[in-house]
Amino acid sequence: MFRPLSFYIGLRYTAAKRRNHFISFISLTSMIGLMLGVAVLIIVLSVMNGFDRELKQRILGMVPHAVIQGTGPLEDWEAVDARVEEHPRVLAAAPFIQGQGMVTGGGDVRGVMLNGILPEQERSVSIIENHMIEGELEDLVSGEFGIIVGRTMARSLRLEVGDRLTVVLPEASVTPAGVLPRLKRFTVKGIFSVGAELDGNYTLVHMDDAAKLMRTGGKAEGVRLLVDDLFAAPRVAEEAARQLDGRYFISDWTRTHGNLFQAIRMEKTMIGLLLMFIVAVAAFNIVSTLVMVVTDKTADIAILRTMGATPGRIMRIFIVQGAVIGVFGTLVGTTLGVLGALNISAFISWLEKALGHQFLSADVYFISYLPSQLQMQDVMIISGAGLAMSLLATIYPAWRASRIDPAEALRYE
C-alpha cells in the first residue's frame, strides 16, 4: 500500500466527492478566500513598494539629498564645493540659489520654487537632464534670463518653448514710482517632466540670472550634495560641513520630504497588517471545513481506529487534508499576485485610456501613474504566513478527530 498511509488517506479525503455538498462548498470558498487574500496582499504591497521607489528615484532625484549653506551668500562657493567633494561618500556637489515666487503667463498665476543652477554641474546631482521633453539644460545661458519649467506648469499657463513669462518675487523694491514688487521677464527655454508634483512648481534658471534677480552679489546661496546612500545623507552632510572653515547650516531630504517617505512606509505596514487579517480569516475558514469533515467521517475514523490506526495517525490524516487546501490556495494566490503585481501598472494605464479618466493626477499626488515593484522578500513572507496560518488552522479539527471514541461512534451504525 502507498506509504505514508496518513498522507494517502488525507489526499483521498480531499479529492473524494462529498455526500454533503455544503462541505465541498465551504472547502472551495476557504480555498478561494485564501487565494484572493494572498494575491491582493502581494499586489497592494508591490504598489506601495512602487510608490516608495518613485519617491526615491524621482522626487529625491530632483531635490537635494543634502545642502550646506552659510549664514549668508557663500563668498567662495568653488572652494566649498571642492572641499565637500573630498568626502568619500559625497558623489557630487553643485552650487545653487533658491527662492520662492510667482510666475504669470497665459493669463494665469502660479506659485513656484525658483532654482538658480549651473547647467554644467547640475547634471551631476540631478536627474533633470534625463527627463527633458523639450530643450536642454545647456540652453540656460547667463544673461539671457531663460527658464525651464515642468510640463504641468506649462500646460496650466499655456506655455511653449520660446514664450515669455514674468517671475515675481515676494520682495519689494523702492523706485521713484513707489514700492513695487520685484519682477523680471523670462523666456521659456525648456520643459521637463518627471511625472511628479515637481512638474507643477519647480523651475530652473541660470545661477547668474538668479543672483541678479535675488541680489546675492553673484554668489551662491549654498551647495547641494549627492550622496551614495539616501539614509546616510544627514550624517554625511554633517561630516562634510565639519571639514569646512567657518559656520555653516545643513539640511537634508528627511526635513523637506521625509514626512512623505515616512507616510508611505507607515501606510505599507498598516495596509499589510490589515490585509493579513483577510488572509487569516480565509485560512481559519479551514477550521470550519475540517470540523464538518470530521463530523461527516466519524464512522470512517472509528473503523480506522479499530483497524489499529493510532490517534497520531488520525490527526495527521486531517492535517494533510487541511494542508492541501492551504497549500493549493496559497500557491495559486501567490502566482496570481505575482502576475498582477508585474502587470498592474500597464493595466491601470490601459484602463485610464479606455475610460478617458486619469486616476492619479500629479497636481494631487506626487506621481501621475500607478507604480509597482515586486519584491521577493514580500512574496516569501506572505506565502510563508499563508501556509503557516493554514497549517495552524488544521490542528484543532485534527486533534478533535483523534479523540473520537470508536465504540461511541459505531454504537448507532
Q: Would you say residue 197 has pLDDT above 90?
A: no
pLDDT class for 23, splitting at 50, 70, 90? low
Of 94-108, 226-240, 281-295, least confident by mean pLDDT is 281-295
What are 249-265's pLDDT values in tens digits?
888 887 777 676 777 67
Report the pLDDT value the prediction gives residue 286, as an integer from 0 to 100. 77
- Cα–Cα distance, 277 to 267 (Å, whole number): 16
Q: What is the mean pLDDT of residues 86-101?
A: 88
Instruction: Tell me which residue has cell 515616512.
Output: 262
- For position 361, what pLDDT does the model report? 65
User: Which pLDDT band, with edges at 50, 70 and 90, does 1 fall under?
Assistant: very low
Q: Are 226 and 128 in contact (CB under 8 A)?
A: no
Residue 329 has what pLDDT? 86
Calculate mean pLDDT across residues 60-71.
Answer: 81
What's the chain's average pLDDT?
A: 80
Query: Which of 200-209, 358-367, 376-385 is predicted least confidently?
Result: 358-367
Backbone angles phi, psi at 36, to 5 degrees: -65, -40
Burial 9-44, CB ≥16 within 10 A → b, else e:
bbeebbeeeeeeeebeebbeebbebbbbbbbbbbbb
* H helical segments located in 184-225: 207-214
Q: What percent of the chain has pLDDT over 70?
A: 86
Q: Give the mean pLDDT of 278-284.
A: 77
Q: What are phi and psi of 161, to 5 degrees?
A: -60, 130
**Res 123 pLDDT > 90:** no
User: For 4-31, what is the mean pLDDT?
Assistant: 64
pLDDT tens digits for range 322-349: 888 888 888 999 999 999 999 988 888 8
Query: What is the average per-residue pLDDT within 14-35?
Result: 68
- Split at pLDDT 50, 70, 90, the class of 11 is low
pLDDT for 20 beyond 60: no
From residue 13, how far is each of 16, 18, 166, 177 by CA, in Å?
5, 9, 78, 95
